[in-house]
Structure 1
Amino acid sequence: MRPHGRPRARLRRLPVVTRLVLAVAVTMSLVLTGTAGLVYWRVKTALDQQLNDDLTTYRSSLDRAVGAGAQLPPGPSGSLRQVLDGQGRVLRSSDALRHQPLLTPAELNAVVRGATVRRDVGSLLPITADTLRLQARRVTADGRTRIVVAAVRRGHRDEALRELLAQLAFASALTLIAASYVGYRTARAALRPVERYRGGAAALADGSPNTRLDVPADRDDEITRLGHTLNHMLDRLAASAERERRFVADASHELRTPLTLMRAELDVALRRPRSAGELTETLRSVDTEVQRLIGLSNALLDLEELGSSGHLTRSSVRLPDLVEAAVAPHRRTAERAGRAVRVEAADTDIDADARWLRPAIGNLLDNALRHGTGTVRLTAAVHDGRLRLRVTDEGPGFPPGFLPRAFDRFARAEASRTGEGSGLGLAFVQAVAVAHGGTAHAENTGHGSAVTLDLPC
């Protein structure tokens, strides 16, 4: 196995252009060899057929003349003849042959027994002199056995075949060279954009974030589609890097605020002796900021976990039970604020991950109770295999400039970052919707705000 694996490994290490040219050369060699072989066989067959026809006709005329005891007729140009008795003695012969027998003893015995012998004398390659094709047959003349040998020279036939071989070899070599050159130029032209794309990717890796591949706009082939795909990927990577940069900056700011407040509270408490009441108030303030940090950290971890679809586990759950479990913790908050929460949930089962969908509904209710006024309404209905869950309030609605970024992380309707909330509630809601294969949409209804979840269930 190892000797075969080494050439393959060496071949795989060659440049792609070299491998393509080798593949073209090998394929063209096989095609040209097959074509040349077919042409040579057809021409050789035609020449041999003509030579055999001439030889058979000449031998037949010799057979008749010997059988009748007549004078031997002349044959084609360059033909030879020989008449032998049953013991192989030469009775009559062409002047060029003198008394040299053309048949071997084995061939003579075969002809005496009635067989017809056909044989070539000399070879096509290497070139030999006096190349012949002969036929020998037994003839009876005056009750005695005679062996008639007729031969014709193959010089013209062999010369034509050698010339054909030379021309085929020359034409095949030129064709192979031309095909290899065309294959090389084609491969280079086809892979030139790939090399250009590689250079662009290398520039991006070297720290040029705005680099984009130069893709021709007047083409639509595999290479240009690859370029468009890579540019799209680069756009996605750039957007992702920008989101990550903003996320890190916002997260740092969000974490810095409570930490700064805690440090200030502690510095004030340590600056001079405090009473037990003052220390208790300081600890309560610090605890509030700690709870805010914990909530922010948990929200960030939840969003990060939702980024992987592997953390989503669907199961059948009763929709009214799911909605009630999400609404229950917020009813007391609504009562304290003198507000009402109205729920309309279809009596059906859905296929969803209740672990994530329940807190998403809770976030929508919390936003409506915190930023809206009046009655909060939650409707959940299923149509055509999709769950449509909508939470509305009767408040002033979202600021118009806030709607396009309502689901961004740390996005807040108010400019201050010191108010309640982390700005991650709606981002979490959208992450839950996307993880379920659905969408989230925020809008103003004219009587307040509305956030809608549309999920396959």
Structure 2
Amino acid sequence: MRLTILYASLFLVSGIVLVALAWLVVFRQPVLVTFAPDPPSVTAPDAVDAAGPLPGLPPGTNVKSADVLVAPTAHTVRAVFAQSLAVLAGMAVLSAALGWVVAGRVLGPLRAMAAKTRHISERNLHERLAPAGPRDELTELAHTINGLLSRLELAFEAQRRFVANASHELRTPLTMMRTSVDVALGKPQPAGEVTVLAGKLHEGLDAADRLLEGLLLLARAQNNGRAGASAVELPAVAETALAARAAAIAAGGLTVELRLAPVTVQGNAMLLTSLVENLVDNAVTHNEPEGWLRITTALLPPEPGGGPRARLTVESGGEPLEPASVALLGQPFLRLGGDRTSRPGTGLGLSIVSAIATAHHGTLTLHARAAGGLRAEVEL
């Protein structure tokens, strides 16, 4: 639209200047016209134009052919002015239409590149723009974007490899430490201090194991989340996750409400199970005493051009949360409050959920409930 307005404005300015110059050339002085009357002989009083008798001829002179100066009248100027405006208006409309077509042709490659770039995310950084046509500014822009995507792909791959490799490498020293503690406890009548120290070490090792499992799961979801896809029934997975945490739910005095509609999704069964388990863990761990949690599954209508979608919602009670802070909970190791030592968990649960949802072309949305607590919605 802006290009069309620019084209039409330039045309109008040029047209107005052109018409003004034409009027200046034509109307600034009388025009020399050859007068040839028919029949061949008339008298001077009859040989008149709109301005009166022919100038320079005495009355009664017979005229067969003469050169006369004709001065434009106000009526002639108005007529020419109106016709010029009509032609200029018609050409302005035509120039706007042509400008719209030309602007669309010029911006077509840009629209295609924008749509392709918008489609590329951390899941498909390997895709590239394919510029067509001669080498110009547009193809140079496409090559620049491709170079940026290549650098981003290398950075993402390096980060994921580091997380996976570091998690694997850290498992060996942790296993050695756990074995050493078990050997010390296996000796006859270990000292009381050794028993207390061993208990503390076991707690730390268990926390480190959970952290490493979370990092490995996060790396696996980011690298190849949909490998080995199969049919997964979300209600059955949710019920199994609740049954495995029955002791923790009973200890917290939590009330559980289930609204499970039959929903089956296609994906990696292990990762989708981890998604549901992490949501349930988050709802149980960060709940309030004698609180509640609700799990809902629903089948959503198909989107335009796509298939049906499933929604899993896990709500829980708790203290009021800031909406701005809740939106950041999907980032790794981020906890509300900033105290990493006194709060349970590793800070990876919702990050794992978000990565698994993204790997299955889904989304995780977090909402702070007005009455306190959190509502997590996953669409797959």
Q: TM-score, normalised by structure 1?
A: 0.43
Cα drift, residue 426 of structure 1: 0.7
SS at match of 1:307: helix
Report the counterpart of residue 438 of structure 1 in structure 2. 362
Q: Which residue of 1 aligns with 2:376?
A: 451
Task: Report the counterpart of residue 372 of structure 1 in structure 2.
Answer: 287
> CA–CA distance in 1 between the matches of 2:336 and 2:376?
15
Q: Give the CA deviation at 1:399.
A: 3.9
The whole-number CA distance in structure 2 between the counterparts of 1:315 and 1:361 is: 16
Counterpart among 370, 382, 401 of residue 299 in structure 2? 382
The one of 204, 226, 234 aligned to 1:319: 234
Looking at structure 2, the residues matched to 410 and 246 of structure 1 have their Cα atoms a distance apart, in angstroms, of 17
Structure 2 unaligned spans of 5+: 1-135, 302-307
Q: Which moved more, 1:359-368 or 1:391-400?
A: 391-400
Q: Secondary structure at the match of 1:411?
A: coil
Whole-Å separation in 2 of the counterparts to 1:435 and 1:296? 21
Give the counterpart of 1:411 among 334, 353, 356. Answer: 334
Alignment of 1:248-397 (within 5 A): 276-309=191-224, 312-373=227-288, 374-384=291-301, 385-397=308-320
| Cα distance in structure 1, aligned partners of 2:362 and 2:300 | 14
The separation in 1 between residues aligned to 2:277 and 2:149, in whole angstroms, is 37
> Following the alignment from structure 2 to structure 1, what is the Cα–Cα distance between the partners of residues 163 and 237?
32
1:15-414 residue pairs with structure 2 within 5 A? Answer: 220-234=137-151, 236=152, 240=156, 276-309=191-224, 312-373=227-288, 374-384=291-301, 385-414=308-337
Supply the distance in 1 between the matched residues of 2:206 and 2:146 (Cα, whole angstroms): 45
- Over residues 349-377 of structure 1, what are the superposed CA-to-partner deviations in whole Å (9 max), with x where a residue is unaligned? 33233211122111111111211222111
Shift in Å, 1:242: 10
Report the CA distance between 1:379 and its aligned residue: 0.5
Long gaps (5+) in structure 1: 1-218
Q: Deviations over 1:87-113 (max 9, x none)?
A: xxxxxxxxxxxxxxxxxxxxxxxxxxx
Q: Structure 1 CA distance, aligned partners of 2:221 and 2:271?
A: 9
**Relative contact order (alpha carbons < 8 A, sep ≥ 6): 1 or 2 greater?**
2
User: Using a 3 Å threshold, how does the CA distance of structure 1 residues 245 and 414 change in structure 2: closer, same or farther?
Assistant: farther
Q: Are positions 1:427 and 2:351 aligned together?
A: yes
The 1:298/1:233 distance shift into structure 2, 3 A limit, reads same
Q: 1:276 to 1:415 in 2, by over 3 A?
A: same
Shift in Å, 1:320: 2.5
Q: Distance in 2 between matches of 1:320 and 1:237?
A: 36
Larger Rg: 1
C-alpha separation in 1, matches of 2:355 and 2:204: 26
Change in 2 beyond 3 A, CA 1:432/1:318? same
Q: State the shift of 1:232 in Å.
A: 4.9
RMSD: 3.6
With normalisation by structure 2, the TM-score equals 0.51
